[in-house]
Amino acid sequence: MEKSTWLATPNIAVVKYWGKRDSALNLPYNGSVSVTMDEAVSTRTTVEFDARLSHDLFCLNGKAARPEETVRVSRVLDAVRKKAGIKTRAKVHSENNFPTAAGIASSASGFAALACAAADAAGMRAGSASLSRFARMGSGSACRSVIGGFAEWKKGVKADGSDSYAVQIAPASHWQKLRNVIAITDAGRKLIGSDLGMQMTVQGSALYKERLRKMPALIRGMKHAILACDLPSFLSLAMKESSNMHAVMLDSTPPIVYLNDISYAIMRAVHEFNAQQGKVAAGYTFDAGPNAHVYTAERHAKAIARMLEGIKGVKKTIVCRPGNGPRRLPEKEALF
Ligand code: DP6
């Protein structure tokens, strides 16, 4: 079997995945919508199935990964092995060019690259729905990073998860002028992992039911804004949705707080920017961490980056465009 290396990029949701109807299969209670980023931030992953191995080996950023990380890698590999009809264990090396577990969705790009490389190394010609389901087994949000451009994760209704995968709403070329200015406020590892945080919300938040009730209309509105390249609607919906998710997190028992003072300062600065512009020209969204993703138009990206860098506690900004999704890298770029 061949060695295969793939590069994938994170996706940043504007309608968020938060809450699982099945934790083992990462099946969500609601659909979600995201933009896959370009290669300003990326993960490279090499996979080789090797008959001499008795278990899967996983190295992350040059070091042996923690056991719980290897378990998640094996879940993706198991899904690939099952479909390919093989039992062979694999060696996996993965490298991020950005901080791991700090709210830049390193798991999304990592498991998307893994799904593509593993299917390829197993000699499968998997379509995007299969690749998306494989990636989902590692991390739910990863199922959207398999898709380039604008993606919708269809929550599905089946118990086996066969209808829960991401599809493309529009390619990256559809809205080339959209930018995501990432403000890194804290590159540390998050305290409560998404899996536990989601369980706490589903069990403890009464507001969560209301969130789910409004989801279908929100997803329709967001897709409409994307298809029309309607920036003010896209940004307004994204900001409200991000705050709604963080509100149900706070409504959990005990409350879950991923945002910090810097995140709130960024929120205020974005609203001030919009007030100066006299229209909604920038909009933030926050994942399970304090880093901000500020969506805006190309012509405002520099000003937004400068504004964010002026906020005390913002360590760095990275400007991303919509990206095309995972791609296979030549042999010479393999990690081992
Ligand atoms: C807040 O995909 O990291 O970023 O399925 O447990 O791995 P697991 O969760 P994960 O959750 C991401 C949640 C989010 C919102 C989103 O990306 O949709």
In DSSP notation, 269-308 reads HHHHHHHHHTS--EEEEE-SSS-EEEEEEHHHHHHHHHHH
Strand partners, 178: 297
Query: Does 230 sit in the ligand 1 pocket, CB within 6 Å?
Result: no
Q: How far apart are CA 202 and CA 160, in angstroms?
A: 21
What is the reported pLDDT for 198?
A: 97
* pTM beyond 0.85: yes
**Shortest-distance atom of ligand 1 to CA 32:** 18
Distance 139 CA to ligand 1 centre (A): 7
User: Of all protein residues, whose CA lies closest to atom 7 belonging to ligand 1?
Assistant: 139
**Shortest-distance atom of ligand 1 to CA 198:** 6
What is the reported pLDDT for 140?
A: 98
What is the reported pLDDT for 101?
A: 43
Buried b (16+ CB within 10 A) or exposed e, 261-280: ebbebbbebbeebbeeeeeb
**CB distance 232 to 280 below 8 Å:** yes
Work out the widest C-alpha separation in the chain, in whole angstroms.
64
CA atoms within 13 A on the CB side of 124: 22
What is the reported pLDDT for 175?
A: 98
Phi, psi of 43 (to 5 degrees): -125, 135
Q: How far apart are CA 254 and CA 234, in angstroms?
A: 32
User: Of all protein residues, whose CA lies closest to atom 5 belonging to ligand 1?
Assistant: 140
What is the reported pLDDT for 188?
A: 63
What is the reported pLDDT for 154?
A: 98
What is the reported pLDDT for 185?
A: 85
User: Of all protein residues, whose CA lies closest to atom 12 belonging to ligand 1?
Assistant: 141
What is the reported pLDDT for 105?
A: 58
Amino acid at 274: N
**Strand bridging mode 20-22 / 43-49:** unpaired
Query: Does 194 sit in the ligand 1 pocket, CB within 6 Å?
Result: yes
What is the reported pLDDT for 189?
A: 62
Report whether the peptide linkage leading into residue 254 is cis, meaning its omega lies within 30 degrees of zero. Answer: yes
| Helix H or strand E encompassing 47 | strand 43-49
Distance 116 CA to ligand 1 centre (A): 19
Q: How far apart are CA 14 and CA 150, in angstroms?
A: 10
Query: Does 17 sit in the ligand 1 pocket, CB within 6 Å?
Result: yes
**Strand bridging mode 20-22 / 32-36:** unpaired
User: Which of the residues in the chain have pLDDT under 70?
Assistant: 1, 99-105, 186-190
Strand partners, 49: 90
What is the reported pLDDT for 150?
A: 98
Query: Does 30 sit in the ligand 1 pocket, CB within 6 Å?
Result: no
**Shortest-distance atom of ligand 1 to CA 245:** 1
Distance 129 CA to ligand 1 centre (A): 19
Distance 303 CA to ligand 1 centre (A): 29
Q: How far apart are CA 238 and CA 234, in angstroms?
A: 6
